[in-house]
Structure 1
Amino acid sequence: AIGANSPTLFGHTLWHETRIPLFKQSIDTRHADRYRWREPARVNFGQGWVRRGAGELFQEVARIYPPLLPICAAQSPAWEMARGQTPSLAELRLHQSTVWLWNRPIYDDADGGHLRIEMRTLPAGPTAIDMVANAAFLLGLAEGVRPRIDEILPAIPFNIAEYNFYRAAQHGLDAGLVWPEFGQSGCREQPVCAIIEQLLPVASQGLAMIGVSVDESARYLGVIERRLQRRQTGAIWQRNMLARLKQKMPLDAALHQLLEVFIDYSAENLPVAEWQI
């Protein structure tokens, strides 16, 4: 919601983060039949909370989705490990590349092998500083809630988290999300802006826990806070700017002018909250 930046498609004003439903729909080749079961979409939010480790996610992908490209590597992982090599797991990596979870685990054998999380939910742009701020907020939150994760997960059922994800993408800062009342039972719908305001200190604490300096944390979380104060994300700016331009010129010309102004502001690396309409 706070980072939404793709509100238009082919001249139509759609979701605040239209990239989310567009990618999901464009990759979905399943046949719709209400009388038969459907395998999970290859672009999805996931099947449930991870309880034991990233291995669960690799197992799900391997067991739920049939391979699209049944290509086998020349050498087996056992052969590679017997010779002191990092296993390439080429078949697994190829299969992973055909399933697009919004938070996707990635194994890579480069530099001795490593595991990373591909946070595909993060929008691109509109400026470099906005993207760093988005990442800082997300990573800070991930670290900040970690000490309380055993309390938080039971309070937010996975289907509610998925519901919140799509409502935030659809409505941006106007979204109402289902959020738990910590300290008591039950959830209720709350404005996303109020939730973000509550979570900013948590993100700050999380960044401090991983060694980010106070000044650097304040700089990037300040970008998020300013968006919240001005109620202006990349999506909101584009919507408002396009509406103003359409009063003066045809839609095609307005879209062209919108892009020109967007490029100029982006090149200045000015946070989107400071962009003028």
Structure 2
Amino acid sequence: MGLAIASEEFTAEDYRRFSARLGGCLKALKEMLRDPQFGGNVTSWGAELELYLVNSQGRVVDCNEEVLELAADPHFTPELNRFNLEYNSDPVISSASPFTRLQNDFEDALARLDGFTQAFGARPVAIGILPTLQRDNFGPAHMTDLPRYRALTNALQNLGSGQFNIDLDGNPPLQIKVGDVTYEGANTSFQLHYRVSPARFADLYNGLLLATPIVLGMSANSPSLFGHRLWHETRIPLFKHSVDWRPAAGEWRQPARVSLGQGYLRRSAYELFAESVSTQPLVLPVCGNDDYLSQWRAGQPPGLDELRMHQNTVWSWLRPVYDTADGGHLRIELRVLPAGPSVTDMLASAAFYIGLGEAFADRIDDLLPTLPFNYAKYNFYRAAQFGPEAKLVWPNPLRHCLEEQTLQQVAQLLLPLAEEGLQKTGLATQEISRYLSVIAERVANGQTGAVWQLRQMDRLDKSAPVGLEAARTMLLGYMHNQRSGCPVAQWGDL
């Protein structure tokens, strides 16, 4: 983020100065976006994969700091809880086979990481929410010992009552009150970074937003927590609730820090940065001293450190990113995809996402009026809750009206559009076929990671909540399948 976080407590003056410097960041960003040379025309992909560290019995192991010390590789970084860490890929410039290159990178990284973690009796697992988690895996004692995590916890607690209410629909529903943010660490994701030119940012952002429910529902991999069968992608409500400081009622409430956004983008990425500054309370007021406008006018990419710091505490599912690399550029960070089930599945979902987003962007002027944002938001939460069988509201172009269709039906209709979008980005025919065939098989049989997990839990234990032994058996079978590299659509029963 450009600024180190050393302090865990902040004064009123810290917040005042940070707020003023945020205004300076926005002023500089607005001027940068007026320059047609800013951001260039380079397209690139990168990704972050969050992982669990799990022993042979399927229980988490608190050893991320020890693993990172042994690995001594800056691509591996800590996460909030001691049983999580993250791998960050190098960016891949647009080419004929970017997803194959990313897959090779992640498979190599996981193989190396496996060697490091075994020294501590653990193995890395890519799964949205680990089914064997227990309440005693959470709390301050399990948080990674870094000032930024303690500072973030203190700040979010101080905004509200100091307590977070987690209330999830399911069989049975899960309702708990917690006093810290470590439950956020139950969510692990495969986060895709898509570098785009500022001129195309708005259309691509809107196109990707429209694609989000479809890709999310067909990629779900987080159906349970503490034995409760919950949403197909339980990460969506759990992440929101685990950091939501807002009171339950009032005349008006600020938007949640974890959300799909407040509407479609109208003109430029500036709107998203300015909206987050306007609507979200400041939590980590760490200030720099640079004059960003002077830097920009002198031909240097300004750090905009305070804006980047603030953005990293607002977890929009589609988040704008400003980076100083290559003279400064913009990315869209796509945060909705879960970790797992296999590396092939994750890259296939990424390709489906990009393909649909690109195809929708080319039709955005026709699409946005036919699907108002409130319906896009409705589709997002239905997809997260019910997966492939979710009932979505979707435009019927022949009848010029909205109709209710299953997500699986909509995904089937949209596969040719995803192919068209990927062709536009310059991918080789073989690359497109390789990854979209994985999605086509998943769409055809309706088996996502969540569907497979739920089916195995029903076979092993029909009680509610599911017993720990059944969850463990399912997880060990999941880990075996993941290491085989086989796409989840081909996984059989245990």
Q: TM-score, normalised by structure 2?
A: 0.54
What's the CA shift string for 1:195-219, capped at 9, x where partnerless? 0011000000110111111111111
Q: Which residue of 2 aligns with 1:13?
A: 229
User: Whole-Å Cα distance in 1 between the matches of residues 298 and 266 of structure 2?
Assistant: 33
1:95 maps to 310
What secondary structure is seen at the aligned counterpart in 2 of 1:29? coil
Distance 1:154 1:124 in 2: 33
Task: Say whether 1:170 aligns with 2:391.
Answer: no
2:266 aligns with 51
Q: Which runs of 5+ in 1 are unaligned?
A: none
Counterparts of 1:9 and 1:152, CA distance in 2 = 37
Deviations 1:67-104 (A, max 9, x none): 11222212121243354321000010011011111100
1:150 matched to 2:337: no
Q: Name the structure 2 match of 1:263.
A: 479
Corresponding residue for residue 242 of structure 1: 457
**Cα deviations across residues 224-254 of structure 1 (Å, max 9, x unaligned)?**
1101112210000000011112269x82111
| Structure 2 Cα separation of the partners of residues 75 and 55 of structure 1 | 20
Alignment of 1:119-268 (within 5 A): 119-246=334-461, 251-268=467-484
Where 1:100 maps in the other structure, the secondary structure is: coil
Report what 2:331 is aligned to. 116
Q: Cα distance, 1:268 vs. partner?
A: 1.0
For 2:229 and 2:462, how far apart are their aligned partners in 1? 15
Which residue of the partner structure matches residue 29 of structure 1? Answer: 245
Q: Distance in 2 between matches of 1:246 and 1:148?
A: 47
2: distance between equivalents of 1:247 and 1:39? Answer: 40
User: Within 2, Cα distance between the matches of 1:264 and 1:214?
Assistant: 31
Give distance in 2, aligned partners of 1:66 and 1:183. 45
Structure-2 separation of matches of 1:268 and 1:119: 27
AA partner of residue 220 (structure 2):
A
Distance in 2 (CA, whole Å) between partners of 1:257 and 1:23 is 26
How big is the alpha-carbon RMSD for the aligned residues of Structure 1 and Structure 2?
1.5
The percentage of aligned residue pairs carrying the same residue is 50
CA–CA distance in structure 1, aligned partners of residues 314 and 368 of structure 2: 25
How far residue 112 of structure 1 moved from its aligned partner, in angstroms, is 2.5
- Which structure 2 segments of 5+ residues have no match? 1-216
The answer to which of 154-163 and 65-74 deviates more is: 65-74
Match in the other structure for 1:76: 291
Higher alpha-carbon deviation: 163-172 or 237-246: 237-246
Matched, 1:4 2:215: no
Within 1, Cα distance between the matches of 2:446 and 2:299? 55
Q: TM-score, normalised by structure 1?
A: 0.95
One-letter amino acid matched to 1:228: V
Bigger shift: residues 76-85 or 251-260: 76-85
1:30 maps to a residue whose letter is R
Runs of 4+ in 1 over 2 A off after TM superposition: 78-85, 183-186
Name the structure 2 match of 1:105: 320
Q: State how far apart, in whole Å, the 1-side matches of 2:244 and 2:462 are.
A: 37
Please give the alpha-carbon distance, in whole angstroms, between the structure 2 residues aligned to 1:212 and 1:276: 32
Where 1:59 maps in the other structure, the secondary structure is helix
- Matched length: 275
Match of 2:488 in 1: 272
